[in-house]
Amino acid sequence: MAPINVDVVNDSKVAPTAKKALPEVETDSNGQEHKRYSYETLVETANFLLSKTSVRPTIGVICGSGMGSYWNEGSLAETITDAQCVPYEEIPNFPVSTVEGHHGRLVFGHLGDVPVVAMQGRFHYYEGYPLWKCCLPVRVMKLLGVQTLIATNAAGGLNPNYKIGDIMIVKDHINMMGFAGNNPLHGPNDERFGPRFPPMNKAYRFEYRKIAKEVAKELNIENIVKEGVYTCLGGPNFETVAELNMLKMVGVDAVGMSTVHEVITARHCDMNVFAMSLITNECVTSYDLDAEANHEEVLDVGRMRQDILRKFVKQLADRFAKAKANENP
Ligand SMILES: O=P(O)(O)O[C@H]1O[C@H](CO)[C@@H](O)[C@H]1O
Ligand code: HPA
């Protein structure tokens, strides 16, 4: 692939009016300054990555808590073949991972025959990054040629029918942080990424959810695969009983601290999205219960389910790639 031309998107020349200069520096609520990235800056990041690997990924995977670190220890290394890893510290303009269970590097390689890039570690709002910065890798993936995003996360189960270790296919989300005006697309819009007002009602591609249910049957794991609504809170504290009961009332099945803003960013730049939550704990919705959520349990359940997740993701990548190929014969 030749280096990316900033004046051409989807083979069409970009009108000068579509390019909006983003403010160079944004200050977050803690007074910390974050450099804003223009389209051109992210193209530089993407070109750097293209020079580091021969893989040209069409599918991007984001590993949730506990699902990335183990990929480092032989397990996914066996699944992502020809792995070429680039630590986040080496990537120009990239944030770095600060959370246990998030390794902090991009892994380029293949899942079966499908060229992929996996984020072995994501960025969360509670780490101090503005939402747009948490989602910067999604835009970089788009510039690398990724058409489909598979986002995974660890989440607390609110739906009383969910058990620890279940996998919830995300059918929709409630953007709680967006209700307060916090959105990854906040700020000037550069139309080379996408439109000012992107629709979000079909965020989680119906066809891919259908495929995932078929794959679950084929892998004999349909009894642990559910489908539901996810929400992201800012974290880092786990929720109060009253907060969880409120979320339950408004139709949330699983709660976490990620994914929603990544999905919004991916849809904005017209990527196909599939997301799933590993239910790592049951949300405590009664004052009578003694249990408390904790990150160690979250990581343990990720470890417990790593074999199943690996097989599932590998099959999904294969089937999504085939579905995409049938779309563009
Ligand atoms: O969403 P991921 O990154 O999987 O992680 C989830 O697990 C962590 C809490 O244990 C939080 O970061 C929450 O968002
Ligand atoms: O119960 C939870 N709440 C929020 N985020 C989470 N991530 C894993 N479990 C949880």
Confidence of residue 36 (pLDDT cuts 50, 70, 90): confident
Query: How far does residue 105's CA lie from ligand 1's centre (Å)?
Result: 17
Highest mean pLDDT among 23-27, 135-139, 295-299, 323-327: 135-139
Interface predicted TM-score of the whole assembly (ipTM), two decimals: 0.99
Residue 256, ligand 1, Cβ within 6 A: yes
Provide the 3-class DSSP secondary structure of residue 275: strand
Distances (CA, A) of 189 to 28, 68, 184, 194: 19, 32, 11, 8
34 is in an annotated binding site: no
Smallest CA-to-CA distance from 269 within 110, 84, 137, 123 is with 137
**Domain 22-327, architecture per CATH:** 3-Layer(aba) Sandwich (3.40)
CA 175 to chain centre: 14
Residue 258, ligand 1, Cβ within 6 A: yes
Name residues whose C-beta falls within 8 Å of residue 163's C-beta, 6 or more positions apart in sequence. 157, 224, 279, 282
Q: Which ligand is nearest to the CA of 155?
A: 2
* Residue pair 146/271 in contact by the 8 Å Cβ criterion: yes
Task: Give the per-residue SS3 of 143-190.
Answer: HHCCCEEEEEEEEEECCCCCCCCCEEEEEEEECHHHHCCCCCCCCCCC
Q: Which residue has the tokens 């089937």?
A: 319
DSSP 8-state assignment for residue 329: -
Mutating to test ligand 1, I would choose from 70, 119, 167, 257 the residue with most ligand atoms within 8 A of its C-beta, which is 257
What mean pLDDT comes out for the span 272-286?
97
| This model's pTM is above 0.90 | yes
Q: For the chain, what are the domain ranges?
A: 22-327
Instruction: In whole angstroms, give the CA distance from residue 46 to residue 227.
Output: 34
Q: Which atom of ligand 1 is nearest to the CA of 258?
A: 1
pLDDT tens digit sequence for 161-183: 999 999 999 999 999 999 999 99
- 16 compared with 170, residue with greater pLDDT: 170
What mean pLDDT comes out for the span 264-282?
98
Q: Is 126 a catalytic residue?
A: yes
Q: Give me the catalytic one of 124, 173, 261, 268.
A: 124
